[in-house]
Amino acid sequence: MRWAAGLWLAAVLLVIGHQVSFWRAGQLDTDVLALLPRSEQSPGVLQAAQVLSDSAQRQIVVLLGSPDEQSAQRAARVFAAEWRAGDAALAPAAPGASPAQAVQALQPWRDRLLTPAQRLRLERASTAELVQSALTALHQPGGSGRLSDWLSDPLSLWSSWWSARTGASPVRPQDGWLMFEADGLHWVVLSGETRGSAFSLHDGAMHGDAIRAAEAAARVETPGLKVLAAGVPLHAEAAAAQASREVNLIGLGSLGAIVLLVWCAFRSVRPIALVALTLVVGCMTALSVTVLVFGKVHLLTLVFGASLVGVAEDYGIHYFASRQRQPGVAPFELIRGLMPALLLALCTSVIAYLVLGLAPFPGLRQMAVFSATGLTAAFLTAACWVPWLDRGRVAPSRFAAAVGGSLERWPLLRGRGWWALAVAVLFSFVGVARLAANDDIRQLQSSPQVLVDSQREVGRLLRLPSPAQFFLVQGASEQQVLEREEALKAVLDRLPAGTLAGYQAVSDWVPSIARQQADALLTARVEAQVLAGVGSVLGEQLERPAFAPDPLTLQRWLDRPEATATRALWLGVGTEGYSSMVLLHGLDGRAAAQLMQTATATLPGVRWIDRTAEVSGLMARYRISMSVLLAVGFVLVLGLLWHRHGRTAWRAWLPTLLACLFSVGMLGWIGEGFQLFNVLALVLLLGIGVDYGIFLLESHDDGSAWLAIVLGAASTLLSFGLLGLSNTPALRAFGLTMLFGVAFVWFLSPLFRPHADHG
């Protein structure tokens, strides 16, 4: 034991050294996407999703709305100055390309850049009608003074094409600001970009505070100003702040409850200090091992790990409960006597956590490694150090005597008790039948509702495309991708009115060479006829100037600073060939998404991607597969118990099975949805609940064992009950399931202990 204690001390010293470097480096992760399983889609889909994620990670957008245009601009001037001064994490504003530069860059290829409506008009309208249109444009105010410009575009195709390109966004430059009108207000658009990742917690970012301070200053200038803010950095910051609060609430709350319970039971500081030591070493070791395995640790792992406090204290409490009942037994002899039950309890709990880690969610695997490691470290601390450090007596207390003695008064399940149990089972089955599955990925979302509402409003007002629903277009070459985009857009243009507000595609700016050649021939033929007709009216010989002889290439446009929007859509070449994205505006509802999928299902190289539905589908499948694994876990635990206890093993096993059923039934009766995290809680309940039955079988109605069970169950109820207060729906579902389950297994386990005549 001396060697074991020394080796464990050396290991803990290494952990302490790692903890110092960890907290200095700030390796905490708040990215919700890091919790999700890897997509079952192809690498092309993963690349597209990553590009969309990266493009939005560092952007913050603020809208300032006022009934008066000048007051909105005055407020924007004050807001921008205060925001930049108050948020040191914002990168300097980069100068953007002006619209005039983009017009000039594409001007040489004007003759081959047409919208579908323009193309249809040139093909179907009569020459006389087009000549009249050209004459009208020529005689507009200022038209006669720009005859050379008119000759290059007699039908005003170029201005119409640009209107179509910029029509997806309502924003227009005005007096040096980006502005638009909507909902009876004049809006100014301000944007900022963070220096580092949105999910970095060590850059001193306080985006929300800076925006609130800037808003207060702007309201002094413009009372009644409406402010909307959106962006991934704001959600990441809110998640970090919330997780910090929940870690403190759950961890400190459950630790305080444990301290109070241990004090009531043992009336001594020494048991409190040594139980706390096992918890601290367990949590530190769990954190270090998790970081070494995964490279970083997610904040939700810490929130979940804070509930570990309600489980890991069991080993120390069992030791001191036995020490209180057997004061004359030497500490090492006492721990050796407890070792079979403690080891069996540890094994069942670790099995449950490892089953939890079989789900392909990186976040859940972190939680499993954290919890299994923490329990093991707490066990080793209790086994190796507590007997060395425990050098005094543990005096009896009235509280301990009352709790330990209550086991004698706890009824055994016999006779009519079985009928009552059958009624409870039937009641639970009715509750289970009322359950409805809820696999929505938004169960992982925990941002404040005001921020969620603001994000939606910004998206609606700016007509932003959805980053979770888009088309992936793939082909063997650039030209094939562009041609397939054009085929896709033709289908989208034929959809019923109101289905879609618009779309963004690479081919909007750079059509395929085949399309360019066809449109160049079309404009050359029609405009020559129009100029001949206008020339006959004017009595002049009119000739259209020449345009670029070569087609516009994709790379030539992407190299331009004005092509920022196009670069975000072009994915380039990968393992599956060339690919691009087509983003959609104004898509709302599942019916519209289903229409997108069915309308384009037969287009070659075009794939409808719905990330929200995909991940929700993954969660549904994993909910089912984890339910199967839960059943396998029950079988494995029963086998482990059978190996130790033979035919009485069912007495430690059945209470947990019934507690799982009763817990799920309660969820149905109170109207909660059933999701993956409910199943994961049941997996954990298997590991925790069986421990109670194990200690009751091992102790043979020993009051000290029952005292330790009561203290452990109470602390577990408190820790997971506090988890039920989390603002993250998934963690709340986990906490509620554990709250019901632990309460039921605590009540049921003594009912199934062996009768006196059974030994």
Summarised one tens digit per residue, pLDDT across range 130-171 is 999 998 888 776 544 444 478 889 999 998 898 888 777 788
Instruction: Say what the pLDDT of residue 428 is.
Output: 96
Could you tell me if 656 and 724 lie in one domain?
Answer: yes
Whether residue 704 is contained in a domain is answered as: yes
Residue 566 lies in a domain: no
Residues 352 and 266 placed together within one structural domain of the fold: yes
Cα–Cα distance, 213 to 106 (Å, whole number): 43
Based on the fold, state whether residues 158 and 307 are members of the same structural domain. Answer: no
The pTM score is 0.74
Q: Residue 305: phi, psi to the nearest 5?
A: -65, -25
Q: Which ranges of the chain have pLDDT less than 50?
A: 143-148, 201-204, 758-759
Residue 404 sits in the same domain as residue 323: yes
Q: Is residue 67 part of a domain?
A: no
The number of beta carbons lying within 10 Å of the beta carbon of residue 413 is 18
Residues 6 or more apart whose CB falls under 8 angstroms from that of 483 comprise: 475, 512, 514, 515
Instruction: Write the CB contacts of 492 (distance below 8 Å, at least 6 apart in sequence).
Output: 500, 503, 599, 600
Residue 280 and residue 399 share a domain: yes
Pair 122, 259 in one domain = no
Q: What is the pLDDT of residue 664?
A: 96
Domain final residue pick, 503, 530, 546:
546
Same domain, 390 and 537: no
What's the CA gap between 522 and 517, in Å, rounded?
9
- For residue 393, count CB atoms less than 10 angstroms from its CB and return exposed for 0-12, middle for 13-18, buried for 19 or more: exposed
User: Based on the domain organization, do 366 and 295 belong to the same domain?
Assistant: yes
3-class secondary structure, 445? coil
In a domain, 70, yes or no: no
Q: Tell whether 575 is covered by a domain.
A: no
Q: Count of domains in the chain?
A: 2
The answer to whether residue 585 sits within a structural domain is no
Asked whether residue 295 is assigned to any structural domain, the reply reads yes
Residue 243 shares a structural domain with residue 352: yes
Same domain for 409 and 321: yes
Looking at residue 312, its pLDDT comes to 79
* Closest C-alpha to 91, from 199, 178, 189, 196: 196
| Residue 424 falls inside a structural domain | yes
Query: Among residues 7, 752, 34, 125, which one has the least CA distance to residue 367?
Result: 34
> Are 416 and 540 contained in the same domain?
no
Considering the domain architecture, whether residues 240 and 168 belong to the same structural domain is answered as no
Domain range enclosing 10: 2-25+235-442+649-758
